[in-house]
Structure 1
Amino acid sequence: MRTAYPYAVTGFEPSPQNRVVEQGAPGASWQLPGTGDGGSTGHTLRMVYSTNDQSGFSTAVSATNMGSHKVALYTAAVNADGSRTLARTGNTATYSSGELYLTITRDENWQPADGCLGTTEEYKDKVGHVVLKRTYNKIKSGGSYVLEMLSTYYVYDDMGQLAFVLPPASKGDNTTVISVSNLAAYVYQYRYDERGRLMQKKLPAKGWEYMVYNKLDQVVATQDSVQRMKAPQEWTVSKYDAMGRVILTGIYQHPGSVAGADNRAGVQALVNAVTTLWESRVSTGDGYTSAAWPATLSATLQVNYYDDYDIPGRLYSSTGYSTRTTGLLTASKVNVLGTTDMLWTVNYYDEEGRPARSFSQHYQGGGTALNKYNYDMVTTTYNFNDQPMSVARAHYRRNTAGTAGVLSLTSTDTYSYDHMGRKIRSYNQLKHEALTAQAKVALNRFYYNGIGQVIQKGLHSLTPYTAYLQSVYYRYNERGWLTSINNSTLSDDGGYTNSAGNAAFGMEIAYQGTSTGRPQYNGNISTVKWKQGRTDLSLPLPGQQSYDYDYDRLNRLTAAVSTSSAAKDGFYNEALTYDQMGNITALGRNEKVSGVKTQIDTLSYSYNGNRLTRVDDASAYNGLAGFTDGVQVANEYTYDGNANMRKDLNKGITSINYNMLNLPESITVNGNTVTYTYDASGRKLKKVFTAGSNITTTEYIGGIQYTNGAIDFIQNEEGRARLSGTVYKYEYDLKDHLGNTRTTVTWDAADATQLTPKILQQNDYYAFGLSIKSLEPNVPSPKNQYLYNGKELQDETGLYDYGARLYDPAVGRWTTIDPKSEKYPSLSPYNYVNNNPIRSIDPNGAEIVDANGKPITYTVNKDGSLAWSPNATSGAMTIGNALAKSGAIGDLDAFRDSKVKVSLVYSTANGGDELGHTDNYFISGTDQVAKATVTVFGGSVDEMQQNVEAGKTYAGDKGHLQTVALQLGDKDAVIAGAAGHERIHGTDPQNQKDISSNNKKGTNKDVEAAPNANEKKILERAVMKDVVKKIPCL
């Protein structure tokens, strides 16, 4: 979109502090006063700086009501057993006026008439601790609107350690003591040992979790409340090698322990008594000694091997691959939970330390079929920019006798890139068993505009790859927000939004520029219009559909008003209300039943804390659409000690059993059973649905999906290739802005050119993901089940499998709590995307991840060192430890808290002039990054160190700091600086936009300014610490 204001202006206060008071953005609507010729429309981010006072809270909705700046004063006394006691003197104590720093942030929808609505207040004490975060909302009470104040308090003990977090529902502003039940239901609680290590924590609705450490402050054992209720009690343990890498995880059973007893201190004493803290390599058993605690395990979950291939029972030869593998993960074996089976993976690398070939056992056929001939072999080649050029996968299954592998499928992906390193084509070629390979297919073709946004994508083409089955066009506004996918009329407008005459799906998205909804300037979506294509080319196009959305001042969706044949006719309306934690309290939903607008759901929700206990439907509708009110009893939903839902009687689910990863192991629903098999890393291997004598088995092998022992389809980046006889036919998913599958297409069998689309399936959704039945035509089997957010719908239960937990679109809630709920304490851990499903999807990232996409976690020990989770990669630990030693733990936290999945790699390769490099993987059709790989080149750091030792110095401010750090022997400072530089590239949305907006990656001054500044800041801090250490004591 063209604009006269393609820039963002920042306003600073006129003081030496130079604090930001107003932040604009590109576009006329987001300019600061006096900017350009257009003036301000008042839709900027604004910051106000002040201090706390004693002003009370008024519920009056008024432009002059600026909220309350009174802050309750809580303390946390440390008891002899390490527990903390929450206290507030007289239940009325407050911070004295002026004792806390206050920052008020007003969002882009805020106007002076709003008063305190649309603002966020953050209070900090004099040492920088956040004491309180406060927001305001407008709710209806007794027929009129009033304000509610939502406060989240952070309470610290005498050592400055976080002891309690009090979310809004805990009523921290009240002048009454917080009840024991409220503490258990809502409050985050933390306890530390005498060395300042986190030893116990309790999340809302969940039992206490325990941690045990060795003398190196490494976490060696953890226990949740479910493990504690077993007899003997179980602990999940981790063992390390001399380099601090996790080499083994397993289950330890504490001898003589009884269910429910607190044995943490006893287990800690056992660990303290052991003098050997790590294991060494041997040639027998699992390949490691058993010298560190515990000597024996009841089950081994995972074993990792590093540095070489001297592995017991070595599966494959490493001939032809690099032997320079020090620091690299060379092999691992992972337990299939509930069995003694282990699945091996062996990794081989090229001379640059890049994965070149891997062999991975799979579990097709179950444990009885498991042997060395059930495996996948993946071979990868790279270009000079370390981008994959080809990925060839050979999928083998054992023969009947189990004496040899039979090649079942060969899948080869190849990629081409433009001069900027952007992917322009992905090709795929499949070969079934020993048959001749099928023709190579171009899965996609990307076209970019001048600022790096995808503006067109072609889907499915045969040689010479010039015409495509579908072309999808993308357009954006001046903020970079997606405004159209084709268009909502599916008309050819000459390329303005669409020039594909055969488009099968189109959508238009409006924010502030809506003609029917309420304008939204902060990124909330005001209006969505869409149209589906013809399922039969002889039929007219279906009608256009649209939604206008409304939100409360916490950006939670409150209304979705639909238009079908007439303006706002409301056939598919939804309306919602919430409590202070974001738990849905009421939901109304319409459907078009036999051509008549019908309210199918009038739901009211009941809770015990954040736990849903009951849902009642007051509507008269009793059909198949919407929520099913199966029973009317007091506790329709029950939970275990880890806050996992055990029953949903409305769905007929009478039992859900979970494994140690809090993933469903078995579900009993309406008398039928669904059983799941996972490995210890959380990877789903198999699902078995038993309904009487009918058994359906689904097996998952890295994108290859089997049904009842035969390959059903193989997934690719644009959909899947489904096996029909001995030929694979490609199916393509057309998705909306959230990644929801809206239309699935293939080609008409009568067209030999494969350019005439045939629509297989169409899907439309209510806001929280429930299918709109009347808009979906009948679908012949087999149906595509990867729908909302691209996740797999479990037909047996109506739940979506997101990998880490299950989601119920009928009620808009998760069945288990958010494993990252500590990052969002003001929200219910069961709520879905802060109740804004039109703008957001459940983040698959927001953490540092390992090679399998699993989050890597760490805790900061009292001495400033880090204790890492068992799956931490050597690269993440090397980079993270360097950041911690250099005083840049904030950068490591930023990697962890990013909205992007970040993989940290420490490579022994030499990156030439680069100390680090970031690969951003953009979401198709947007400028948003889905994941990033940050690499620090250890070879380059080593070369720089050698040069400095030889007397060389490096020029420039940054080069001078690097030289001084290395002269002082601080190699970690240089690693940390490089990581901090790449952190901006890998996690900062604006920098990522800038990168994709410039034609020379890494050479534009504006693109490198912020990363260079951050790198310099880290180096300065580290060098100063080094210099201070060198000053002799007087």
Structure 2
Amino acid sequence: MRKALCQPVNIYTITYDKIRVQAEVDWYLLDEEGNKITSWCEQRRYPLLYRSYNGDLYDIYSYTNTIERFNFLDPAVHSDSPTVAQALLNQMRLRNSRTVYNYGLTTKPLGGHGLCETHRVAKRYENKINDDEYFGSYNRRTYTYNQSTSTMQQDNGLTTKHTYQYNSAHKGDLKHKEEQHNTTSGDKEITYYEQYDAVFRDNPTRLKIEQQNTGGSVNTFYKGYTYSDWGGIATETALLTPAQWNNPTEKSRHTTSYTYHPDYKFITSTSYYQNPELLLTESTSYDSLGRVATATNAKGETTNYQYGDTNHPGNRTRTNIQHSDGRTTRTDYSYFGAYYAFPTIVTSYYTEEGIQKTSTTYKSYEFIRGNVTSETDALGNTTRYSYDTQGRLKKTTHPQSMGRGGNFEVQDYTDYYNFVNLSGAWIETPQRTFSVENYSTANGSMFKYSIDLYDDHGNLLLSRYYDLNKGVYVPTVYGYDNYDQLTWLKDANGNNTTYQSDEWGRLKKVTDPQGNYHALAYNLINRTKTTTFVPSDTGVAENHYVETSDQWDRTISRKGYPNGPGGAPVEEKYAYDLAGNLTKQTDPNNNSTQYSYDALNQLTKVINPLGEITDYAYDRLGELTQIQQYQGATTFPTVQQYSERGVLVTKQPPAGQPTTYKYNANGLPVEIKDASGKITALQYYQDSRLSQKTANQDRIQYYYHPLGIVEKYQPLNGDTLRHVFYCTGQIGFRITAESYVAGFEYDLLGNRTEVSHPGNLFTNYQYNNLNRLTTVTADGKNYTYEYYGDGMVKAVNYPQLTGGTSIRTEYTYDNINRLKAMHNKLGSQTITQYSYNYDNNGNITSVTENGQTTSYTYDALNRLTGIQRPGGEQLSYQYDSRGNRTVASPNDSGLDGFISGEFSYNNWDQLASFTAGGQASNYSYDPEGLRTKKATPSSTTRYHYDNTGRVITESNAGGYVTAQTIWGNQALARKVGGSYYYYLYNGHGDVTKVIDQTGNIVNSYTYDEWGNILSQQEQLPQPLKYAGEYYDDESGLYYLRARYYDPTVGRFISRDSNEGSITNPLSLNLYVYCYSNPLNYLDPTGHSAKEVWQGFKLGIGEIYNGDNWQSSWAAVKTTPEGAIIFVREGVVGPENFDELTNDVLSWADAKAGASAAASFVVGKAKVLKGAGKATNWGMWDDVSKSTYKGREYANINGRYYTREAIDRMTPKGYGTAAGGYQARGIPTSVVEDVIASGTSREVIRNGITRTIFESNGVRVVTEEAGKIVITTMKY
């Protein structure tokens, strides 16, 4: 044998012309010196892959040379037996790791009498690389063999065993195979390949699956296949129990059948049962060239495909979808240029008001891989893409948009690095990684940067973004076990969450940074998953839940145990049809809702527990076209019509006029005509973001930050709204009317740490290592939160009162976290106490308040139907099939508080005025829909909001601050005239008491279940009442942001622009409040009811993130008649992005600039301080301007200032800031001193030379050696 196997090289030479690809392949071998071996004998040796190169990096394969002996005549081998050389793969060297194989020698029969040696894998493992050194042993698997069995053992305890039996009658064909997976817990799953096809003897026809546990219990299932005459799968039978398998009818219902084209072997039909009575078939036909000609869905609706390019017959040129009303959805495809493989022009045809129109988009492609390099929409706006040598996206250039500083073009970049050493504080085990770096620029200035690092298995090891404001990386680090299962996660503050999984990859335990943990246990036989929570302080399990699945892993039951695992559970059940659609949902009170579907598995009918029916219908494109509800013999249809391209053109409610929609060529709405005839017009920037909205004489202009978030709203009538964002995407400042500013700061994890109110008040927030709010501080007064281990609020402590006592609210819960009791205490004295009981559905059945009990009843839809008060008073309610309240007995209870009057609305469908008794109250709103002013006949109030839509300051018409609110997870206190008043609540979140600083109860309230005020004793007028929401005395309505709620009838006064969910017909009633279950739900947005108890689970750090009312409110702003404008608080940066990204400014700089802006003096500002009157003073609009090199600057004493520099300053000589904020700003005199006498240094970024002057903690960034002041800040 030669000393070494030759290094094989596979050389491809590829040349291109405009259309065709020619390939030449040469195979030859190199010796160890790299010389081509010319010997025919050596060249005929089978080549072995040595190295592969993808244009970016090499994978290297190395081999072990072995000798194997054989003997044709004797079942034994000897030292002089003939030999054969074998090359065994022993190592694969990949990017940042290698895989190693070890082998063992064995023998096997050779022919009828002989024997030969062979090798088989005994072990495989992987090494990682650090500093070019291999380390560790990962994904280790050890293999042992015994006659007909092979066993794979992992270090984590998983064992997989294969057993083989062969049929000698068929020359060694496989007769039986057994595959067994064992865990250390004793669970095992065994798959028996019991039967094989008679022709295709390697294709199994029957599999038996056994699941076993340590107690010896067994679940047995069968799965089966049949095959066509050429070996394709003809039928596939799902996992069945023995009884189902042996029942021919049941077996056929769970079997999917396939047919194939006789020549091309493509699937021509797929048939399966949706339910026992309905066999569905989807079919595809092909032409003589094997091209798809038609595709017919299970409803028999056909899509036709045409191929009209004779020069390139494989290219599809037209798709036609025929509608039932005779219309056709037609799309044409054209192929031009040097490519012809991909469509370069796509044209869609549609009609609008009877006129035929088209929408055409254009694409270009890279030659080799077919990646899209440019995409031009129907309005001529182009997005461009570029790729690296591996075909990975490197750069995206978006169409232009507009910010308040002018047009900008965003470019997103991605860079890939194969060899990045990860070590130090970032990770516990240093290693070499693969990194993906993402950053974005606007007009060349970077505003976002992040980097992710991965191992060779694709496990994310480190994800970090660069906080441009703080000047630090914010990391999240991940750790894995030797088998790639996540074991820990570390946040930017070093808090560790750990994870444990079993050998099958199922999560077993999650432990938080405080040592509390969630435990998950699985029962293989019963198919259950049990979850519990174990707090670190008690070690006693709580929060017991059990979820049961069927054999197809569909959830069929969920149980919770309110009184612990020894008590009776509450259980919700689910049933499905044969296609997996949910057909029945049974709640814990045993009330069932049924669902039906069409042949496309689209929901067509919902029957609620009262037998009330809602029907749905769809068009050819799957769009919902009709909703039908019924009341007796009357049908209430809502009909929607869509164009051929699937956009809504008409919506006709059950009564009244329709709403109609028009669109541009890109399919974006440009005109909405509502039922009253009012037209709302919409315009867009090149990047398809909304630029302008107009309704009658009102108009709003939108300006965006480069990351797509609205940074400024400019209404034609009304106040502007502007946001200044931190680079993390959080709002730094919220500026209304260029005058009123609220400021916000955050920690590395995004928790809000400070709110600066208009009026010289700062509220600070602290969090524990679970990001739960622990302390709120304002004016030196501390409010603290205590928690149970699972995050439920245990107590709220208020600041110490003047007498030395303090207020404390305590909460207790049942085992599934429903509030059971609540106590409000003043020192040792109980002020109010509440206890709650529930039915199985979680509806409150009784409330005991200070010893007095009120009881409640509900119908099968969980709507409130009966109330029995402590004095014996009884009330009842009835509803129609659409959810409207039809009876409130006795005497229309609740109408006592009704205030008769007239409503008028503005062009944005917001309540503009309420007139009662000839006296009008008027309301104004900001462009995001939040009410900013209320003017009644007796007073005017302006409202100033934080970044979550909550009022933090109120002022009067003269600019005086009248009140400020301190918020935790609810309003904690109200500051009026320098004095603090503290809010106390009941379990529903209704304000019941207001207590002053001396401990006196100054206000007391009681309400009915709908929010009507039953009694009120008020020494301090204040608006927060039922559900902690703003109550308007003049109208008797509650302001819930999107809409106003009338408690006298339990309805909103206007329809919801969010149209509900078809799976819950109650939500389709756009006026009803909280599904007519006001005890258990709140609706703080006016858009979506939320369970009350969500508000008690977590502190502000979690309550107001994610799926909650504040983020929902911030996320969705609505235009008339449901045209939704999404305004996300995503990742954006401050106004001085170009500086920050070029490392000119530090976090201290940014913070100083933020502090300056926090003076609440922007534009013609009115700074609010206590009850003092605001002082008007001029800024950008009042200083003289000059144009220099085509750009407008403020000209102060001959020096040019940018608008940003002006916004950050308090220029003496142009007015004085009120409220003690003067020290936070930088007057022009200081700027002059710093430039004249400070130290200076130059930096060059993007070809621009800037001079930075520094002196006495002030930094001034300039261009042209001080002639132009770009920005200023303290450091």
TM-score by length of 2: 0.41
Structure 1 residue 25 corresponds to structure 2 residue 576: no
Structure 2 residue 983 is matched with structure 1 residue 733: yes
Partner of 1:136: 609
User: 1: CA distance between counterparts of 2:598 and 2:1141?
Assistant: 43
Tell me, in whole angstroms, the C-alpha distance in 1 between the residues paired with 2:932 and 2:1117.
24
Offset at residue 327 of structure 1 (A): 4.8
CA contact (8 A) 1:857 1:868 kept: no
1:442-481 matched pairs, under 5 angstroms? 442=782, 444-461=783-800, 469-481=806-818
Match of 1:758 in 2: 1000
1:559 to 854, 861, 866: 866
Choose from 697, 710, 714 the match for 1:333. Answer: 714
In 2, are the aligned partners of 1:248 and 1:304 still within 8 Å (CA)?
no
Q: Which residue in 1 is equivalent to 2:1070?
A: 829
State the identity as a percent.
22
Amino acid paired to 2:1029: K
CA displacement, residues 466-496 of structure 1 (integer Å, 9 cap, x when unaligned): 9762111111100111111117xx7xxxxxx
In structure 2, relative to structure 1, the CA distance for the partners of 1:651 and 1:221 (3 Å cut) is same
CA contact (8 A) 2:864 2:1076 kept: yes
User: Residues 938-976 of structure 1, C-alpha deviation per residue, up to 9 Å, x if partnerless?
Assistant: xxxxxxxxxxxxxxxxxxxxxxxxxxxxxxxxxxxxxxx
- Indicate conservation of the 8 Å contact 1:526/1:549, yes or no: yes
SS of the residue corresponding to residue 853 of structure 1 reads: helix
Q: Secondary structure of 1:420's match?
A: coil
Q: CA deviation at 1:424?
A: 0.6
Question: Could you report, residue by residue, the CA deviation over 1:391-448 in whole angstroms, capped at 9, with x for unpaired residues?
Answer: 324x3xxxxxxxxxxxxx201111112222221101113xxxxxxxxxx211x20111
Relative to structure 1, is the Cα distance of residues 420 and 830 closer, same or farther in structure 2, using a 3 angstrom cutoff? closer
Question: Residue 411 of structure 1 is aligned with which of 745, 754, 761?
Answer: 761
Question: What one-letter code is carried by the residue in structure 1 that aligns with 2:724?
Answer: N
Aligned residue for 2:545, secondary structure, equals: coil
Match of 2:548 in 1: 11
How much does 1:100 deviate? 11
Figure out how many residues of one structure are paired with residues of the other and give that number.
Answer: 567
Partner-residue secondary structure (3-state), 1:789:
helix
1:177-212 CA distances to partner (integer Å, 9 max, x unpaired)? xx6xx4xxx322211112111112234556322222
Partners in 2 of 1:849 and 1:194 — Cα distance?
36
Alpha-carbon distance between aligned partners in 1 of 2:1129 and 2:828, rounded to the nearest angstrom: 52
Instruction: Report whether the alignment pairs 1:685 with 2:935.
Output: no
Check if 1:301 corresponds to 2:781: no
TM-score, scaled to structure 1: 0.50
Residues 256-306 of structure 1: CA deviation (Å, up to 9, x unaligned): xxxxxxxxxxxxxxxxxxxxxxxxxxxxxxxxxxxxxxxxxx543132132
Whether the 8 Å CA contact 1:22–1:44 is kept in 2: the answer is: yes
SS at match of 1:528: strand
Structure 1 residues 467, 11: closer, same or farther in 2, change over 3 A? farther
| Aligned match of 2:663 | 213
Q: Contact 2:598–2:604 at 8 Å: present in 1 too?
A: yes
**Aligned twin of 2:878:** 577
Tell me the CA shift for residue 342 of structure 1: 4.1
Name the structure 2 match of 1:838: 1079
CA gap of 1:410–1:706, structure 2 versus 1, over 3 A, is same
CA separation of 1:683 and 1:733: change in aligned 2, threshold 3 A:
same
Contact kept in structure 2, 1:721 and 1:728, CA below 8 Å: no
Q: Secondary structure at the match of 1:44?
A: strand
Q: How does 1:22-421 map to 2 (within 5 A)?
A: 22-27=557-562, 38=566, 41=568, 43-49=570-576, 103-110=583-590, 118-137=591-610, 149-169=611-631, 182=635, 186-205=636-655, 207-226=657-676, 228=677, 234-251=678-695, 299-307=698-706, 327=708, 329-335=710-716, 340-350=717-727, 352-356=728-732, 358=733, 360-362=735-737, 375-393=739-757, 395=758, 409-421=759-771
Give distance in 2, aligned partners of 1:330 and 1:651: 40
> Is 2:1226 the partner of 1:699?
no
Higher relative contact order (CA 8 A, sep 6+): 1
Look up the match of 1:784.
1022
More strand by share: 2
Partners of 1:505 and 1:816 in 2: CA distance:
36
The 8 Å contact of residues 1118 and 1124 in structure 2, kept in 1 or not, is answered as yes
Q: CA deviation at 1:341?
A: 4.2
Match of residue 651 from structure 1: 899
What does the per-residue CA deviation read over 1:979-1022, in whole Å, with 9 as the maximum and x for residues that have no partner?
Answer: xxxxxxxxxxxxxxxxxxxxxxxxxxxxxxxxxxxxxxxxxxxx
1:508-561 CA-to-partner distances (Å, cap 9, x unmatched) read 1112xxxxxxxx111111111113xxxxxxxxxxxx322111111111111111
CA separation in 2, counterparts of 1:28 and 1:237? 57
The one of 1033, 1036, 1049 aligned to 1:795: 1033
Equivalents in 1 of 2:1073, 2:1051: separation in Å?
Answer: 6
Question: Residues 207 and 731 (structure 1 numbering): CA distance in 2 closer, same or farther, change over 3 Å?
Answer: farther
Structure 1 pair 100/794, CA: closer, same or farther in 2 (3 Å)? same
Partner of 2:891 in structure 1? 602
User: Is the partner of 1:136 in helix, strand or coil?
Assistant: coil
Query: Matches of 2:1080 and 2:734 in 1, distance apart?
Result: 40
Cα deviation, 1:99-123, whole Å, max 9, x if unaligned, reads: 996622211122xxxxxxx111111
Contact 1:677–1:687, Cα closer than 8 Å, also in 2: yes
Aligned pair in 2 of structure 1 residues 457, 125: CA closer, same or farther (>3 Å)?
A: same
Q: Cα 1:682–1:829, aligned 2, differ >3 Å: closer, same or farther?
A: same
Asked if structure 2 preserves the Cα contact closer than 8 Å seen for 1:250 and 1:301, the reply is yes
Question: One-letter code of the match for 1:441?
Answer: K
CA distance in 1, matches of 2:1057, 2:709: 28
Once the two structures are superposed, residues 692-742 of structure 1 have per-residue CA deviations (whole angstroms, 9 ceiling, x without a partner) of: xxx322222323223453432112215476666xx4211121122222111
Q: Indicate the residue corresponding to 1:711 in structure 2.
A: 961
SS in 1 for 2:978: strand
User: 1:596-635 residue pairs with structure 2 within 5 A?
Assistant: 601-603=890-892, 626-628=894-896
Choose 1 or 2 for highest CA Rg. Answer: 2
2:312 is matched with: none
Unaligned runs of 5+ in 2: 1-534, 946-950, 1089-1106, 1133-1139, 1143-1275
1:415 and 1:424 mapped to 2: Cα distance? 8
Whether contact under 8 Å (2:557, 2:574) holds in the other structure is: yes
* Per-residue deviation, 1:346: 4.6
Instruction: Please report how far the alpha carbon of residue 161 of structure 1 lies from its aligned counterpart in structure 2 after TM superposition.
Output: 2.0
- Contact 1:219–1:869 (CA<8 Å) still a contact in 2? no
Whichever residue aligns with residue 553 of structure 1, its letter is: A
What whole-Å deviation, never above 9, does each CA across 1:749-801 have from its counterpart, x for those lacking one? xxxxxxxx21111111111111223xx4x323x42221011222221222222
Do the aligned partners of 1:245 and 1:874 also contact (CA within 8 Å) in 2? no
Distance 1:27 1:698, change over 3 A: closer
Q: Structure 1 residues 555, 378: closer, same or farther in 2, change over 3 A? A: closer
User: Distance between the aligned counterparts of 2:723 and 2:957, measured in 1?
Assistant: 28
Normalized per residue, the structure richer in helix is: 1
Q: What secondary structure sits across from 2:1027 in the alignment? A: helix
Contact 2:721-2:927 within 8 A present in 1 as well: no
Identify unmatched segments of 5+ residues in structure 1.
32-37, 52-98, 111-117, 138-148, 229-233, 254-297, 308-325, 363-371, 396-408, 430-439, 491-498, 512-519, 532-543, 564-568, 589-600, 604-616, 618-625, 630-649, 749-756, 860-866, 878-906, 910-1034
Taking the aligned partners of 1:123 and 1:660, their CA distance within structure 2 comes to 41
Deviations along 1:360-384, one digit per CA (max 9) or x if unpaired, are: 134xxxxxxxxx5xx1334433322
For 2:895, give the aligned amino acid. Answer: F
- Per the alignment, residue 806 of structure 1 pairs with 1044
Q: Answer yes or no: is the 8 Å Cα contact 2:884–2:1072 preserved in 1.
A: yes
State the 1:504 CA deviation: 2.6
1:421 to 1:705, Cα distance in 2 relative to 1, 3 A: same
Cα RMSD of the aligned pairs, angstroms, is: 3.7
